Structure 1
Amino acid sequence: MSSITYVLVHGAFSTAAAWGPVARDLALRGHRVVAVDLPGHGLDARDTGMVGVSTADDVAAVTAVVRAVDGPVVLVGHSRGGLTVTAVANAVPERLAHVVYVSAWCCVVGGPSVYASVAPSALDRLAPRLLTADPAEVAELRVDFRTTDPEALDALQDALLADGSRTELLAMLATMDGRESLAVDEAMVTVDPDRWGRVPRTYVRLGGDRALMPALQDRFVADSEAVGLPFRVVDLASSHLGVQLRPGPLVDVLTGLPS
């Protein structure tokens, strides 16, 4: 697969930096890899934060990278990044050799609102402790990931990195942005069977994830199968962030994808 380029899409409040260990291991195995900062995140941060950033902006940013690649692309999304992966696959299926959802949102029978109550995240209970502003007033989500509140950190550890150390958690939190967009175009991030369905796909199910619960991951997989577009499913025993911190198992999956 030396001609393949892996394009990595981060999740909510995250940045391209979260993919660092995965990108490093892919490169060391001789593969091309690009980790994308979605608009308003990481090196693409802006003074206005996430206000005005839309799903269309995310899709345009990733599609531009996909189109710039010389050769086939494996598009990989983690967590909320799955919404962008779906929309890009809907837009340019002919440019993709494979799509990979790593404990990621994959809305098949409707947008995220259809799935919101399937399996509440451990983060849902924590949100009021971390929010620094009323989302309705500031038109974005603002969260304090630099908190020193021990109870909040314990809850973040449980939700995001139960299989890691506090030092690892703090290192990952340091790479995260405290702002996220409220806007999601539900139609754009819903699977188009005629276009998305043309792309080979793998779902990496994380059994130890408490941020995007296994029951919700299973629902995405089941809905895809129900419409006749089944995933190849790979199970990894990992937390939400542990899969990025200890990249070996995931890199094995990515480099062993069927052609």
Structure 2
Amino acid sequence: MGNGVLLDIRNLNKTFQTNKGGVEAIRSLNLRIREGEFITVIGPSGCGKSTLLKIVAGLDVAYEGSVELEGNRIVAAGIDKGFIFQEPRLFPWLSVEKNIAADLSLRDPAIRRRVDELIELVRLQGFEKAYPRELSGGMAQRVAIARALLRSPKILLLDEPFGALDAFTRSHMQEVLLDIWQQNRTTMIFVTHDIDEAVYLANRIVILKPRPGEISGILANDLPYPRKQASASFQELRLAVLSEFHGKIERQEYVDRAGI
């Protein structure tokens, strides 16, 4: 696909059928994502964020419109699309290194080398032989990220992966993920409810309206890394996201509400 576009979503519509009739989850969504971008998607509960990720992952193909990865319509799940859930979903009977390898053999020198590289990348040296029950929530999620990266996906989809973590661990995991992205430049789409998290991580912030999910706005984020949440430029962009998120209410109301 030309112009560096990796993912091309055109006129995406998704309706779920229930006993009470159709529920429109996504309406007329258009989005182009370039290779190497870090995109955050933010919106209220039920606006279709997770549904969008599942469609891109090939986990839900009952939709209208066009969703293409490198010019090919997404029709099924595959190793070219990594998916990180809110819960790590590790195999409790396997060690860290075997969870990362999953169905691939650590006896293969190439797999062994790559697993070791990923363990270093996600900062889990010394825990190779540990089992999930011996890991913290943040460590378990790092194992899940390493497992997804093992097959070098073209795109990594993250569905509120840090939502269940405490504030300190969440902040640490954001740093780890940015480190992974800056080293690998894997294209990422990261769903979150947290505006600060969206601004802290992304190159572009996609804001969805309440159901049915339509794009309210897309804000570019060219703040340099590492980002300082207390900086004036960070707070200015945060307020812009809040303004778009809540329907462009007067800026001063958000300044007062945020105590700035």
Q: TM-score, normalised by structure 1?
A: 0.28
1 or 2, which has the higher strand percentage? 2
Indicate the structure with greater helix content. Answer: 1
Higher Rg:
2
Q: Which TM-score applies when normalising by structure 2?
A: 0.27
